[in-house]
Copies of this chain bind each other. A is one copy, B any other.
Amino acid sequence: MQTWDAITSRRNVRTFADRPVAAADLDQILEAGRRSPSSQNWQPWDFILVTQREQLRELATVWRGAGHVAQPAATIVVVGPPADNEFHRAQFDLGQATMAMTLAAASLGIGSCHAGVADIQLARQLLGFPADRDWAFLVSLGYPADRPLTPIKTPRRRPFDQVVHCDHWA
């Protein structure tokens, strides 16, 4: 899919078709995250790919808003670094990696949705990441149940000329 179509088609998908996602496609999505830029190339991320249904169902209980994680073909658990760097770039860089993955997914017709992790102890118990890694979030991945991803003409966003300023603020 053309980049512009992926950018305009990406949307949060919370209901997924009962259809697997090819391992090669999941690898490509993860590779998009791995390649992301980061402050001084510190790469402050680890990705745990979860595809077992029982594990997905358990994972869906780590936050009240994570219910959609029980249903899709896969979920990537993004695990943040043990500590931030001197430029406080951890959150920013994880945001970049996440966007690269969700756009890579959209380009394959695969929907995605972000969910936080409130119960980090439960997530650690389920996934076994080290004790010094104390924040993580989830990106669910699967084919949409409702309708395929197609370019959204008028996204629910602030108007362009309110967001974009030319040369100067006012």
Residues of A within 8 A of B (CB): 1-8, 10, 12, 27-28, 30-37, 41, 43, 45-52, 55, 87-100, 102-104, 106-107, 114, 116, 127-130, 152, 155-158, 160, 163-170
Contact = CB atoms under 8 A, between A and B. Distances in A.
A56 to B, nearest CB: 10
How many chain copies?
Answer: 2
Contacts of A30: 160, 163-164
A90 B94 CA distance: 12
A28 B7 CA distance: 10
A97 B46 CA distance: 21
Given A94-B92, A94-B95, A103 B163 contact: no
A34 B160 contact: yes
